[in-house]
Structure 1
């Protein structure tokens, strides 16, 4: 058993505890007034098959979420293992988040990131109070899987890749 020299504050203890659960990194993106708007989240989960629903949560302090919450269609791209730098740009508060990142635009403005492991084109379904976050449910309108692309993973506050077992002989 490992002990900590000083007791952790509740907030720091919770941050560390939550970081133990590995998550994927999802780019939320849409075209807003003719320009790409996006952010990275790792609070993403499947909710239901019928109807097909996913949930994300966004911090109330986010300056990007208010621009995305009202779009009719939102792109959700589970980033690929080699897209760490793009994820960092999406998570930044300043600068050009998209750079030369290739994307596809869906009919109603959802933006989907090339090189991702999964694309979901989603429409707003419901929102809920989540304390210092807003929880948003989205109905999946379209899904595209890219089986050959391993997802980017965030675990213990670091980006990681999934390493599978070697093939059995």
Structure 2
């Protein structure tokens, strides 16, 4: 008989792996859409692709449809308040946020981010209670002089604590 792992056990174990924090954005139906995502990774170098995983019940997910142009901003260590702001369930997550627009539809990007990626949603895959979204990258940029937010065991960590 196989024992199953509880969600709490998995969260605690996976939380031992430090991740960065991103804000995934698009411009859809005349609105800017954005949400905080820590499940982000490189998928392929040739062709250039990344993957983000988003809770399937997210109200933002339908705006990230296949073929849609989206952005991913990797937040800098001093942008913690933006990570929290884009994780909240509020009407306008962009309120007071400095953005830069890129791409054909004017996708909003977080100004001052460590890195950014502009791409087109390639496909969706079911993954338990999340949707795996693959993104074909068209443009990207990084600023090596800035440090990204690092998330570990439910907390933000500094470079000195690694």
Q: How many residues align?
A: 157
Alignment partners' CA distance in 2, 1:153 and 1:162: 8
What root-mean-square deviation, in Å, do the aligned CA atoms of Structure 1 and Structure 2 show?
A: 1.8
Q: Which residue of 1 aligns with 2:40?
A: 44
Q: TM-score scaled by structure 1? A: 0.86
Distance 1:151 1:44, change over 3 A: same
Q: Which residue of 1 aligns with 2:149?
A: 152
Does the 8 Å contact 1:151/1:162 carry over to 2?
no
Residue 83 of structure 1 aligns to a residue in which SS? Answer: helix
Q: Which residue of 2 aligns with 1:10?
A: 6
The CA deviation at 1:145 is: 1.1
Does the 8 Å contact 1:151/1:161 carry over to 2?
no
Runs (4+) of structure 1 moved beyond 3 Å? none
Alignment partners' CA distance in 2, 1:147 and 1:52: 20
Residue 108 of structure 1 aligns to a residue in which SS? Answer: coil
Larger Rg: 1
Q: Which residue of 2 aligns with 1:3?
A: none
Q: 1:123 aligns with which of 103, 120, 125?
A: 120
Residue 12 of structure 1 aligns to a residue in which SS? Answer: helix
Alignment partners' CA distance in 1, 2:42 and 2:100: 23
Give per-residue Cα distances to partners, 1:61-115, cap 9 Å, x unaligned.
2111122335621010000001111110100112431121111111323221111
Q: TM-score scaled by structure 2? A: 0.90
Q: Which consecutive residues of structure 2, in runs of 5 or more, have no partner in the other structure?
A: none
Residue 82 of structure 1 aligns to a residue in which SS? Answer: helix
Matching of residue 74 in structure 1 with residue 74 in structure 2: no
Alignment partners' CA distance in 1, 2:25 and 2:156: 20
The CA deviation at 1:148 is: 1.2
Q: Which consecutive residues of structure 1, in runs of 5 or more, have no partner in the other structure?
A: 1-8
